[in-house]
Structure 1
Amino acid sequence: MAKIIRTYKLNMKFRLTFQLLPLFLIVFSGALGQHTKLKNESGLMGNRFLTFNTVIRVNQIEVSRDRSIGNDERSLHTPARVIAFRNAVAKGFPGGKMTWSFSWLALQDTSVAYREIRKLVVGYHYKYGDDITFIPGAYFANAYNSTEQVNKDLHDALKIISSMVGNGYRPLSIVAGFMSAANQQYLAEKEGIHVCQGNIWSQFSIDNQDGDGSIVYPYYTSKEHFCKPAQNKTDFIDCVNLDGWTVDFLAARRKGFEGGFNSRMGVGPIETLGRYGNETGLKEMMHTTAIHFDKGFQLNGFAWVTNCWELSLPMEVSSLENWLTAIRARWPDVKMITQGEFGLLWRAHYKSNSFNYRFVEKGSGIGGSDADKEIYWFMNKDFRLALLKDKTNNTEKVIDFTRYDLPAKEPAEMTRKWSLLGEINQKQSRPQDKPVPLDSLSTKSRAIISSHYKYLFKNN
C-alpha cells in the first residue's frame, strides 16, 4: 500500500507540473505585469475555445475622438442593460469569462449612466476575471485616422483603463475590428500587448471598411499588411492577430448583401437572430459553431469560435443565454476564456506561423449557406486556398487562392479598401476571380499548393 501511495504522489506531481507548464510559458512570453491570470487552463491543443466580446460606446461609429457617424446610442447603454447582459453570460456559461471593450467616448462620458457602467464592468473583472480593453475608432480606426493618431489613442486609452481598474491592470488584448500592421507593431513593442483582434475575416462591401484576404484563425502579423501572416524573422510582428467573429464559410464567399443574403452570417446575432428569428437564428449559430467544434477540431487539433455582441443590439439577452447553454450541452469541454487569454495560449504554442489550418463545411440551407454546396479551406503562412463543391453535379472549383509569399502593401491614405486580394478571390469582385478547376491553375501555383497538400492532386 505504501508503494502505491508513493507512486500516486509521483504521478500527481508530474501531472501538476505538466498542467502548469502552459501557464508558465504564457507568463514568461511577454505577459509579465498583466493583471489577469490564467487559472485551470491546460493549453492550446486538444481543447475547444470560445471567446466572447462586447462593445460599449456612445455613438454608433466614433471614427475619431471628436467625430462620429451614425446614431447617438446613449439611451441604449444603461446599467440595467449591462447587468442583464452579464447575468445572461453567467447563466448560459457558468465560470465563463468575456472581454469588454470601451470606445473613447465611453471612457470619457461623465453622465451618471456611463460612470455606473464603468464601475459595474470593473466589478465584473474582479468577480469573473473578465478583461477590459479599448476599441479605437469603433472598428474602423485606420479608415479615418493616421497611424500616429491611432497609436496615440491606444496609448492614452490604455492609461485611462489601467487607472480605472487599478492594481497595475493592463488589458491582455485590444479589440479593433481592423488594425494596421504598423499599429499592431506599436502595440507589441511599445505597449507590451501581444494579442489584437485585428481583422474581420472576409469582410468586403459591408460596413465601413473592407479587409478580405486574411487567415481565419490566429497568426502573427506581417509588417507589410495586417491580412498577411509574417513570412520570416525580419517580417515578424509579435502580435497574435485574431478574427472578429466566426462566420459561415459559405455565406462569407459573397460580397456584402449580394443575392439578398448577408455575407457576415455566422454566430453574430444581427445576421441570425435579427434576420431569421430566435429558432432559425440559433440553428445557424450552432451550425457555424459546429464547423469548428466538430470537424474543425478533428482537423486542427484545437478549435476556436469567437463572437462580438454589441451591448446596444436590440436582441433579448435570453437569446445569448440560449446559445451559450446550447454550446455547453453539446460540447461540455468548451473553455470560455477572454480573447487575450486565448491569444496568449496560441502564442505559447506557436513561436512562428507554422500552423496548417483546414476546415470543411456542408451548407445549413439557411440564408447564404447553400445546402447543395460544400466548401474546403486550407490556410498556412504561404497561402490560403478554398475549394467549392457543387453536390448537384459533383464539380469542384477553386474560389480563392491567395499567396502570402508575394509582396504586399497597406494603403498609404485613409480609405475603406484594405483587402489583400490574391490570384483568385472568393468575393468574385474582379474578372479574374471566376472559379476554376484546380488543374487549371498555373504550374507555379499548383506546385506551391502541392508542397503542402499533395493529396489534392492524387487523381493527376
Structure 2
Amino acid sequence: MRTIVFMLSFMLFTILSGASTKDNQNQGNSIPLMGTRFLTFNAVIRVNQIEVARDKNVGEDERDLHTPSVVIKFREAINAGFPGAKITWAFSWLALHDTTSNYRKIRELVVGYQSKYGDEITFIPGAYFANAYNPTEQVNKDLHDGLAKVSEIVGNGYRPKSVVAGFLSAKNQDYLAKNEGIHVCQGNIWSQYAIDNQDGDGAVTYPFYPSKEHFCKPAQGKDDFVDCVNLDGWTTDFLAARREGFKDGFNSRMGVGPIETLSKYGLDLGLKEMLHTTAIHFDRGFELNGFAWVTNCWEVSLPIDVTGLTNWLSEIKKRWPDVKFITQGEFGLIWRKHYRDNSFNYRFEEIGSGIGGSDADKEIRWFMNKVFRLALLSDLNKDNSETVIDFTRYDLPAKEPSEMTRRWSLMGDINQKQTRPQDKPVLLKQLPEEMKTIIKTIYPKLFPIQ
C-alpha cells in the first residue's frame, strides 16, 4: 500500500513540476513587445577560445577554466541579482561532445537549469566566427548536428528557440528558418570592426529580418526576405562604438560587456558604464521606440568577479522593476509576432558617460529603418556642430563575401568608423541631394524650413 501511495505521490509531483516548468517556459509567449523593457543574457560554454571548426582551434585551451563550481557560481550570481531570470546557454561543438568529467557534469547542471528556471540551451557554431573559417554548407551541417546534439542532451523532445552565432551569414540564417524551424538568431555583433576575428559593422542594432543578400542588411521585401529575427550580440555604448577597434587607446565594444567595463575599470566604475549604457535604452530609448531591449553575452570562462554581474542585475531590478528578463529566443519570437516585416523605425539618443570612449561632451543620435541608418554627432560645447558620421543605405544591392574572410562589414556612403577618406563627417545640409531626399521621406523634421 505504501508503495502505491509513494508512486502516486511521485507521479503527481512529476506532473505538477512539469506543468510548472512548462508554464515558466511559455511565460514569454504572452508578453507584448510594445510597452515592455526586455533584458536577455547569453552564457557561452566552450573548450577552446576559438573553435573555428570541429577539429581545428586557433585560440587558447580553456578546459581548466570550465568547472561545475564555476558554472554553479555563475548561475547563482544571476539569480541573486535578478530572481526569476531566464538566460540562454550556448555550447560550442567541443563543449557538447567533450567526455571528461567536468563537461559531463556541466551539461547535467545546465539541463537542470533548463528544467528549474526555464533557461534556453542552444548551440554556437565556430565560437562566434563560423563564416570566417568555414564554407556555407559546412556551417549548415554544423548547425544541424549541433542542434540535434542539444536536443539529445536535454531530452524530452527539447528544441531551442534560437541560436547564438556571433556573426552568421544570410544563407545560414535562411537555412535555420527553412530547414531547422528556428526563427531567431544572434547573428550580428553591431558595429564590430577591427576587434577579434571578424568584422561586421553596418547593421541595425535592434531586431530585424535580414536580406538574402547580406546579414547586415534588412530585407526590403518578400523576394529577399529571411524569416529569421537577427539579433545583436551585446549592447554597446553608441559613442564608444563609433570608434575603430582600439584606436586612440579606447575599446569600441564598451557597453554592458564585462571585459570592456568590469575588467577594465573595476567593479564601481565598470558598473557605472554598464548602467549608463543600459539607461540609454530603458530610459530615453523606451520613450522613443515604445519598447526597449538590452542584451549581454558573457563567456563563462572569463576570470571576472561575478559580483559585478550580480550588482548590475540588482541595479536594473531596482531602477526598472518592470523589466522582463527572458531568453533571447522568447524575445526574438515576441518581436517576430509584432513585426511580420521590417516596418520598424528605431531611434536612439545618448550623451556620453565620460568613461573611456564615451565622450562626456558629445551627443549622438541614431535613426534606423529598413531603408537606411543615419548617425548624427554633436559637440555639446559648440553650437550647430551636428554632423553626419554614418549614412548606410539598405535599398542598394549588397553582397556577402564568397570566400572565407574576416571582412563582412556593410559599409555605406559614410561609415561611423571613419576608416576611409569618404567617411569624413559632414553637415546634414552638405549631403548630396539624393541622400537628403531619402532621409526627408522618413525624417522630414531633420530639415527645418528655412
Same fold, TM-score > 0.5, yes or no? yes
Contact 1:36 1:172 (8 Å CA) reproduced: no
Counterpart position of 2:103: 114
Q: Which ranges of structure 2 fall in alignment gaps of 5 or more residues?
A: 1-21
* AA of the residue aligned to 2:231: L
Instruction: Report the 3-state secondary structure (helix = DSSP H, G, I; strand = E; otherwise coil) of the residue aligned with 1:70.
Output: coil
User: CA–CA distance in 1 between the matches of 2:265 and 2:72?
Assistant: 26
Alignment counterpart, residue 146 of structure 1, candidates 135, 150, 155: 135
Instruction: Report the 3-state secondary structure (helix = DSSP H, G, I; strand = E; otherwise coil) of the residue aligned with 1:234.
Output: helix
Deviation string, structure 1 residues 343-400 (Cα, Å, up to 9, x no partner): 0000000010000000000000000000000000000000000000011212100000
Deviation string, structure 1 residues 186-239 (Cα, Å, up to 9, x no partner): 000000000000000000011000000000000001000000000000110000
Instruction: Report the 3-state secondary structure (helix = DSSP H, G, I; strand = E; otherwise coil) of the residue aligned with 1:69.
Output: coil
C-alpha distance 90-415 of structure 1, shift in aligned 2 (>3 A): same
Deviation string, structure 1 residues 121-161 (Cα, Å, up to 9, x no partner): 00000000000000000000000000000000000011111
* AA of the residue aligned to 1:96: A
Alignment counterpart, residue 440 of structure 1, candidates 415, 430, 443: 430
Alignment counterpart, residue 398 of structure 1, candidates 385, 388, 409: 388
Contact 2:29 2:330 (8 Å CA) reproduced: no
C-alpha distance 301-402 of structure 1, shift in aligned 2 (>3 A): same
Q: Percent identity?
A: 72
Instruction: Report the 3-state secondary structure (helix = DSSP H, G, I; strand = E; otherwise coil) of the residue aligned with 1:71.
Output: coil
Counterpart position of 2:80: 91
Counterpart position of 2:174: 185
User: CA–CA distance in 2 between the matches of 1:50 and 1:126?
Assistant: 20
* AA of the residue aligned to 1:421: M
Report matched runs for 1:19-38 at 5 Å.
Answer: 36-38=25-27
Instruction: Report the 3-state secondary structure (helix = DSSP H, G, I; strand = E; otherwise coil) of the residue aligned with 2:376.
Output: strand
Alignment counterpart, residue 271 of structure 2, candidates 277, 282, 298: 282
Counterpart position of 2:124: 135
User: CA–CA distance in 1 between the matches of 2:59 and 2:232?
Assistant: 24
Counterpart position of 2:402: 412
Contact 1:92 1:324 (8 Å CA) reproduced: yes
Report matched runs for 1:181-220 at 5 Å.
Answer: 181-220=170-209
User: CA–CA distance in 2 between the matches of 1:398 and 1:259?
Assistant: 21
- TM-score normalised according to structure 2 size: 0.94
Counterpart position of 1:316: 305
Alpha-carbon RMSD? 1.1
Please state if 1:165 is matched with 2:161.
no
Counterpart position of 1:357: 346
C-alpha distance 252-449 of structure 1, shift in aligned 2 (>3 A): same
Alignment counterpart, residue 283 of structure 2, candidates 282, 294, 309: 294
Contact 1:101 1:175 (8 Å CA) reproduced: yes
Deviation string, structure 1 residues 1-56 (Cα, Å, up to 9, x no partner): xxxxxxxxxxxxxxxxxxxxxxxxxxxxxxxx9x9423574210000000001100
Instruction: Report the 3-state secondary structure (helix = DSSP H, G, I; strand = E; otherwise coil) of the residue aligned with 1:424.
Output: coil
- TM-score normalised according to structure 1 size: 0.92
C-alpha distance 36-155 of structure 1, shift in aligned 2 (>3 A): farther
Once the two structures are overlaid, the 10-residue window that deviates more, 39-48 or 411-420, is 39-48
Counterpart position of 2:13: none
* AA of the residue aligned to 2:438: I
Q: CA deviation at 1:459?
A: 4.6
Counterpart position of 1:124: 113
Instruction: Report the 3-state secondary structure (helix = DSSP H, G, I; strand = E; otherwise coil) of the residue aligned with 2:59.
Output: strand
* AA of the residue aligned to 2:249: G
Counterpart position of 1:102: 91
* AA of the residue aligned to 1:408: A
User: CA–CA distance in 1 between the matches of 2:48 and 2:400?
Assistant: 28
Please state if 1:76 is matched with 2:65.
yes
* AA of the residue aligned to 1:404: Y
Q: CA deviation at 1:70?
A: 1.5
* AA of the residue aligned to 1:234: D
Instruction: Report the 3-state secondary structure (helix = DSSP H, G, I; strand = E; otherwise coil) of the residue aligned with 1:271.
Output: helix
User: CA–CA distance in 2 between the matches of 1:372 and 1:323?
Assistant: 25
Instruction: Report the 3-state secondary structure (helix = DSSP H, G, I; strand = E; otherwise coil) of the residue aligned with 2:52.
Output: strand
User: CA–CA distance in 2 between the matches of 1:459 and 1:269?
Assistant: 45
User: CA–CA distance in 2 between the matches of 1:214 and 1:48?
Assistant: 22
User: CA–CA distance in 2 between the matches of 1:380 and 1:40?
Assistant: 26
